[in-house]
Amino acid sequence: MLLGVHCSVSGGLEKAFTEAKKLDIDTFQIFTRNQRQWKAKPITKKEKESFTKAFSASKIKTAFSHASYLINLASDSDELWNKSVNAMIAEVERCEALGLAYTVVHPGAAKDKDENTAMETVVKALKQIIKATKGNNVIILLENTAGQGTTLGYNFQHLAKIIDMTESERTAACFDTCHAYAAGYDISNNHGFKKTFEEWNKLIGANNLKAIHLNDSKTQLGSRVDRHAHIGQGEIGNQAFKLILKSFPHIPKILETPKDGNMDEKNLEVLRTL
Ligand SMILES: [Zn+2]
């Protein structure tokens, strides 16, 4: 079914497999580093070995990372833009070392720039990251966003444009249910779900959908506020998740819901029942 969660790596990267085994999942997402700091060490030989060993001993089919939230590939500050590009290069290298298929990143925030100029800045960054990591297999997934503040990616056209302009096989996209709903894509019913993915396929392409984040939304349709809720306990409701599971069995689907107590187990149970 390719269903999993964002796993914790506290105590070591290979700890993700311990959590995965406990939850009986076949895919996961991790942070390969402290996502709230710029500084990150490269993967050591020992880390790589224990991760690879745990990976082959597990039933995980595909695993990927989420890049740091500090990164803004659209930044108009040269300093922040350079820092962001370098952080992404390091992230891709860590993923390659660990055998992770993808790294998910938010397109960035336009701030004072107009959206088109900001998207061109993102494209410039992606081209540089891809060039610097030539020969790597890691695909960079741009995630759709709720559109808080001046963030790009709330509209599928943004992702489509960035992917098209980057002109690389190593860019694709990640669909987040909560972000889509908050951005105004009504996936909560059959009609809206169909319409949303018709638009996705037309603009971004079905082949470019590589990962899905499963989150219900605490906020209303079109609120442009990003607040993840437990599955079936938000504004989206169960039907959307049922349709996702049915429509995309072969695409890794990851919970990013709040980790209160044993809520990962409970959310997985809800999804498996659906
Ligand atoms: Zn997400």
Mean pLDDT of all residues in the chain? Answer: 96
Looking at residue 258, which CATH number applies to its domain?
Answer: 3.20.20.150
**Residue 143 designated active-site:** yes
Question: Does the pLDDT value for residue 186 go beyond 90?
Answer: yes
pLDDT of residue 192: 98
Q: For residue range 81-121, list pLDDT tens digits in order.
A: 999 999 999 999 999 999 999 999 999 999 988 999 999 99
- Residue 150 belongs to what domain range? 3-273
Q: Catalytic: which of 6, 19, 33, 66?
A: 66
**Residue 191 designated active-site:** no
pLDDT of residue 261: 85
pLDDT of residue 114: 94
pLDDT of residue 116: 96
Q: Catalytic: which of 33, 94, 158, 213?
A: 213
Alpha helices in the chain (DSSP H): 15-23, 45-57, 78-98, 115-132, 156-166, 177-182, 190-203, 238-247, 263-273
Q: Model confidence at 122, in pLDDT bands (50, 70, 90)? A: very high
Cβ(143)–Cβ(176) below 8 Å: yes
Please give the single-letter amino acid code of residue 5.
V
pLDDT of residue 228: 95
Q: For residue range 31-66, list pLDDT tens digits in order.
A: 999 888 898 888 999 999 999 999 999 999 999 999
Q: For residue range 221-230, list pLDDT tens digits in order.
A: 999 999 999 9
Question: Does the pLDDT value for residue 260 go beyond 90?
Answer: no
What is the number of structural domains in the chain? 1
Give residues whose Cβ lies within 5 Å of ion ligand 1.
Answer: 176, 213, 256
pLDDT of residue 257: 95
Tell me how far the alpha carbon of residue 165 lies from the centroid of ligand 1, in angstroms: 23
Tell me how far the alpha carbon of residue 213 lies from the centroid of ligand 1, in angstroms: 5
Q: Catalytic: which of 26, 96, 199, 256?
A: 256
Question: Does the pLDDT value for residue 181 go beyond 90?
Answer: yes
Q: Catalytic: which of 47, 91, 176, 216?
A: 176
pTM for this prediction: 0.96
Whole-number Å distance between alpha carbons of 84 and 80: 6
**Residue 66 designated active-site:** yes
pLDDT of residue 17: 97
**Residue 69 designated active-site:** yes
Q: Catalytic: which of 94, 179, 185, 235?
A: 179
| Pick from 176, 196, 269, 193: nearest CA to 231 | 269
